[in-house]
Structures are given as structure tokens and as C-alpha cells.
Amino acid sequence: MKTMTCRQLGGPCELRHRSNTADEVIKAQDRHLKDVVAGGDDSHRDALKEMKGRWRHPISGMGWYRAVKRDFAMMTDD
């Protein structure tokens, strides 16, 4: 298992996502952003907007996706 924080994924807080794959970490971050913004958190709004933009523009969003995958691959296991 590896850990990436909300901040490492473009968000504003230090919440930790633990997973075996970068895909799952990205999905967890996506869920986290939606959850906290739905709960009235303003600090995550921009990060959520960027995340949504990436799904809408998969080509330009791919750069971010690849960077996260690379960072994840370079991290050491917990």
C-alpha cells in the first residue's frame, strides 16, 4: 500500500489516501473532493473544478494523470 495526500493530488488538505494503485488513489481523491464540497467546504472547490475539467478534457487532463501515476510509482510502500 502507498499513501498520497489530498495536497499531493492538487487539493488543499492533508487527508491521506491509501491504496495499491494510482487509479484508486485518484478515484478516492475525486470522491473526497465531491464529499467535502457537498458538505459545504469552500477550500476544495477549485480542486474539484480542476478534477472535473480533467474528466471533461481527457487529452489535456492526461498530463496530470501521468504525473500522479509517476509520483505514485516512485513512492515507497508503507
The residues that touch Zn ion, with contacts defined as CB under 5 A, are 6, 11, 13, 15
Residue 37's closest CA among 28, 49, 25?
A: 49
Q: How many helices (H) and strands (E) does the chain have?
A: 3, 2
| C-beta of 22 vs 48, nearer to Zn ion | 48
CB of 70 to Zn ion, least distance (A): 21
Burial annotation 60-78 (CB, 10 A radius, 16+ → b, else e)? ebeebeeebeeebeeeeee
CB of 40 to Zn ion, least distance (A): 14
| C-beta of 14 vs 58, nearer to Zn ion | 14
Residue sitting closest to Zn ion (CB): 6
| C-beta of 59 vs 71, nearer to Zn ion | 71
Q: Which residues contact 65 (CB under 8 A, 6 or more apart)?
A: 26, 54
CB of 59 to Zn ion, least distance (A): 26
